[in-house]
Amino acid sequence: MKRVSFVAGNWKMNTTRSTAIELARAVVRGAVSGVEIGVAPPFVYLDAVGAALAGSAVKLGAQDVYTEKSGAFTGEISTDMLKDLGVSFVLAGHSERRHVLGEKPDLVSHKARTIYAAGLTLILCVGETLAQRDANETFTVVRTQLGELGTWVTDPQRLVIAYEPVWAIGTGRNATDAQAQEAHAFIRQTLAKTYSPDLADHVRIQYGGSLKPDNANALLAQADVDGGLIGGASLKAESFLAIATAAVAAAR
Ligand code: 13P
């Protein structure tokens, strides 16, 4: 089936208020049709970036969220707060949160369920470390991480999986086209078993990890690759939009 690709920029802990607004405006100016485009700025710039995106088709995303609605959770942010600012998609399980900030599978799973239950689009990030790939554990790791979804997903439009091999993130070493396709096909098969072939067929699976304009054409042309989750290259409108354009070309 034809899925509309989703290209999302994860700005991580980058930009200033003014460069974030400038970047958002440049993305709006250059946005192409035929692909869903979104940006996830740091929390503190969500409001300003949301204003810069207003009236455009570019979606606003958040990099994280907490599991509770409100209360004594110093430093945390709720789904209601994100929705208040016009956020439509939220990441859970990014490798930096798993491996740098120490988030455990239970917390990732709880966050994923919270995002989905709030009516937002969930991007669940999965992917193996280099040691796990070398030990032939890629499929086992990815299957276990997909298990964090439970069985509560009913709307495939609000579930996106980002396959981001940890060894490819920020390293300049992307997965090969074949490695990406193999992992993506495995993810789709796993979703088909957990949910249904029909649901699995509709879910977008993004590739992430050193995705750049010069490798985007080939990676995004893989049958089970439905766009990308982009770090470094999303911090410049030109490279981010070149990847979005590659996603449109790949869909033809
Ligand atoms: P890079 O594109 O910088 O490798 O980061 C990928 C990523 O982690 C996106 O979430």
Is residue 38 lining ligand 1, measured as CB closer than 6 Å? no
- Indicate if ligand 1 lies below 6 Å from the C-beta of 230: yes
Q: Given a cut of 80, is residue 201 above it in pLDDT?
A: yes
How far is it, in rounded angstroms, from Cα 102 to Cα 215? 31
Q: Residues near 223 by Cβ (< 8 Å), separated by ≥ 6? A: 181, 185
What are residue 92's DSSP bridge partners? 124
The pLDDT of residue 189:
98
Question: Residues with Cβ < 8 Å from 12, sequence gap 6 or more?
Answer: 42, 63, 96, 231
Identify whether 164 is a catalytic site residue.
yes
**Percent of the residues in the chain that have a pLDDT greater than 90, as a whole number:** 98
Mean pLDDT of the chain: 97
Which atom of ligand 1 approaches the CA of 94 most closely?
Answer: 10
DSSP letters spanning 218-244: HHHTSTT--EEEESGGGGSHHHHHHHH
1 — pLDDT class (breaks 50, 70, 90): low
Atom 7 of ligand 1, nearest CA residue:
231
* pLDDT interval class at 252 (50, 70, 90): confident
- Please tell me the predicted confidence (pLDDT) of residue 56: 98
User: CA-CA distance, 168 to 174, in Å (whole number)?
Assistant: 5
Selected from 3.40.1000.10, 1.10.10.10, 3.40.980.10, 3.20.20.70, the CATH number assigned to the domain covering 6-251 reads 3.20.20.70
Q: Where are the beta strands (DSSP E) in the chain?
A: 6-10, 36-40, 59-62, 89-92, 121-126, 159-163, 204-207, 227-230
Q: What is the DSSP letter of 45?
A: G
Q: Where are the domains of the chain?
A: 6-251
Compute the distance from residue 64 Cα to the ligand 1 centre, in Å. 15
User: What pLDDT, on the 0 to 100 scale, is given for residue 245?
Assistant: 98
| pLDDT for the residue 15 | 98
Marked catalytic residue, from 94, 96, 128, 184: 94
pLDDT mean over 93-114: 98
**Is this prediction's pTM over 0.95?**
yes
Beta carbon of 211 within 6 Å of any ligand 1 atom: yes
Give residue-wise pLDDT tens across range 82-94.
999 999 999 999 9
Does residue 127's CB lie within 6 angstroms of at least one atom of ligand 1? no
What pLDDT, in 10s, does the model give residues 9-68? 999 999 999 999 999 999 999 999 999 999 999 999 999 999 999 999 999 999 999 999
- Pocket probe for ligand 1: among 210, 212, 240, the residue whose CB has the most ligand atoms within 8 Å is 210
